[in-house]
Structures are given as structure tokens and as C-alpha cells.
Amino acid sequence: MAQVVRMHATGGPEVMQLEQAPVGQPGPGEVRIVHGAVGCNFADTYFRSGLYPVQPPCGIGVEGTGTVVAVGEGVGHVAVGDRVAYNGGPLGAYASERVMPAAPLLHLPDNVAFDTAAASTMRGLSATYWLRRADPRLKAGDTILLHAAAGGVGLIAVQLAKLLGLRVIGTVSNEEKAARARAMGCDEIIFYRREDVATRVKELTGGEGVQTVFDSVGKDTFAGSLKSLRRRGVLVGCGTASGPFPPLDAFQLMLQGSVYFIRPAFADFYADPAERAELAGWWFDHLSSGRVQVEIGQRYRLEQCVAAHHALESGLTIGSTIFEL
């Protein structure tokens, strides 16, 4: 029997319940994995709330790390005993053990601990494709605006951006978060609750604006993000913590300087096996070499899943959140 978090309806954090459930054996193309640690991501709240469509009763969570203990027919890229990490596949990562498709599994370098990988696989792979694929014109020497720079993805994105030679302007809510973002290499800080973001961006860029904005907040920051772009800049809609992005007005994009908007999905940038291997290899190389630091700000047990989601949605978390097993 495994510990499994399930939800029998969509709604607030209280819809999640910890249950005992049989695990079963893997079928064709599947593996059985014993988790070492599990990621707790803001995107999980979208599934729980129903913003992302689900069919309860169901599990929750898409990121985990652990050891393969059984493989089904046709599985060739992982074997029993392999240390693995994943982001994606069916919901159900909030569990001590599970059966799942083998396709999303990535080999975990021996020197990367399970908790570190659970705190960074989704975040690291996301920041990787944002910075290396979402805006093809982004290059060393350019300036970017990164919202939520002290969040779990933000702290990783800051470090990767600096490795790519970018100047980073980050937005944060308070001095504590500013200190963390600066420690990871953020060049300039904007306190979005007391400063006008677009005005400060223009001041920091000599009136030009930034090449790319990475906006994981959504509704509340969309207008300011557009105004922060330089001519033909790109707004990358990475998340919707404050609510969905509003409907696009094509004429507005022209008036802002013929700017672009993209709302990328993780799966579309990791669907091609060769590109997936290249991007994942780049991320894990930086992680295992120590060039990127991962800050685990919050650790919970599975039975504390409700408290974990309340903390995520409060906006008070710093760094990554994980479930320890």
C-alpha cells in the first residue's frame, strides 16, 4: 500500500485527502517508482482548483524523483534500480509510490539528491526552455524582466539567465525576497507593490525597455509587462498566479511597438525526443556541476498537503516547495 493524495472534487486546498491505496504492477510502457521526494508546484493549484480540467476523483502532482523498482514490457531507456526524475505524465506524483508511464523519466545524475531534483526538475526544465526557446531573438547582452524573481522558478531562472550572459531585472514583494534574488545574481530589483514596474524598467534601460519579459503572474501584471518591452520585444506568459491573461488586443500589440506575446506550454517544447534530450542535458549539467544552486524554502509531508497549498497561494513562499518521503 502507498500513501496517495487524492481529490474527489475541485476547489480549495481542503479538497485534497491523504489515502492508502494499492500500487499494482506496471503494464506495457510503464514503471513502478518509489519516490524519494516530490515537487509541490504552483501549477498544481490550477489542477486542484479546476482551472486546468481534471476528472475527479484523481491524484495530483506532476513532478517527482525516486528509484525504479519494476518495469513493464517495452521499457528500454530505464531499468530497475535507476535513479530518475520527471515532470509530466498523468496526475499522481503526490504519492509515496506509483505506477506511471516511463516516457517522462529522466536519468538523475548520481550526485544530485532526490530532494534537490524534486525542488528543481520542473523549475529548471521550465526556465531552460523559456530562456533558450521562447524568444529566439534573445541573446547575450540583452536585458530581461523576470517577475517573481524570488520564487521557486525565479531563483533558478535568474541563475540560468546570468549563465547565458543576460542582464536581469527582477520583481519582488519585499526586502527578504530581494536579498535572495540578488544573491542569485539579479542585477536590478523592482518592488512591484510600491513601484510602477514599467516606469522603473524604462528608467533602468535608458527609456528603451527590455527584450523579453517572463511573466508568471498573469492578470495583474500583463499591462505593465507589455509596457516594459522595447520595440519588437517578446512577452512570455509563463504562468497565471493572479489569474488568466486577459484577451489579446492585436492593435494594442502594435501600439506597444509591434511586440509579441507567447503563452508556451511545457509539453510543446519537450515533445521532440532530440530537443528534449538536449534541453534536459543542458539543465542537469548545470545542476550537477554546482553552477546552479537550488533553494528549498519549504518542506512538507504528504499529510500536510493542504497547508502546503495554502502557503503557495499566500505568495509568502521563497524558493521551492517539496514533499519529503
**pLDDT digit string (tens) for 263-315?**
999 999 999 989 999 999 999 999 999 999 999 999 999 999 999 999 999 98
pLDDT value, residue 241? 86
Q: How confident is the model over 173-200, as pLDDT tens digits? A: 999 999 999 999 999 999 999 999 999 9
The predicted structure's pLDDT at residue 316:
81
**In the chain, where are the structural domains located?**
2-119+295-324, 123-267
Instruction: Count Cβ atoms within 10 A of the Cβ of residue 116 and give its class: 0-12 exposed, 13-18 middle, 19 or more buried.
Output: buried
**CA–CA separation, 124 vs 122, rounded Å?**
6
The pLDDT value given to residue 35: 98
71, with CB counted inside 10 A (0-12, 13-18, 19+), is buried
Helix (H, G, I), strand (E, B) or coil at 15: helix
pLDDT of 152 > 90? The answer is no
Is the pLDDT at 74 greater than 90? The verdict is yes
* Percentage of residues of the chain with pLDDT beyond 70: 100
Would you state the cell numbers that stand for residue 303, as one nine-digit string? 499529510
Query: 58-59 and 2-7: which strand pairing?
Result: antiparallel
Mean pLDDT on 72-95:
96
Indicate the pairing of strand 97-101 with strand 143-146: unpaired
Q: What is the pLDDT of residue 315?
A: 82
Domain 123-267 fold: Rossmann fold (3.40.50)
Cα 2 to the center of its chain, rounded Å: 26
C-alpha separations of 104 from 88, 89, 229, 231, 234 in Å: 6, 6, 35, 38, 29
* Cβ pair 103, 89 in contact under 8 A: yes
pTM of the model: 0.89
The CATH H-level superfamily of 2-119+295-324 is: Medium-chain alcohol dehydrogenases, catalytic domain (3.90.180.10)
pLDDT value at residue 311: 95
What residues contact residue 184 under an 8 Å CB cut-off, 6+ apart?
A: 155, 158, 159, 293
User: Does the pLDDT of residue 317 top 90, yes or no?
Assistant: no
Q: What is the pLDDT of residue 98?
A: 98
Query: Does residue 89 surpass a pLDDT of 90?
Result: no
Q: What is the mean pLDDT of residues 32-42?
A: 97
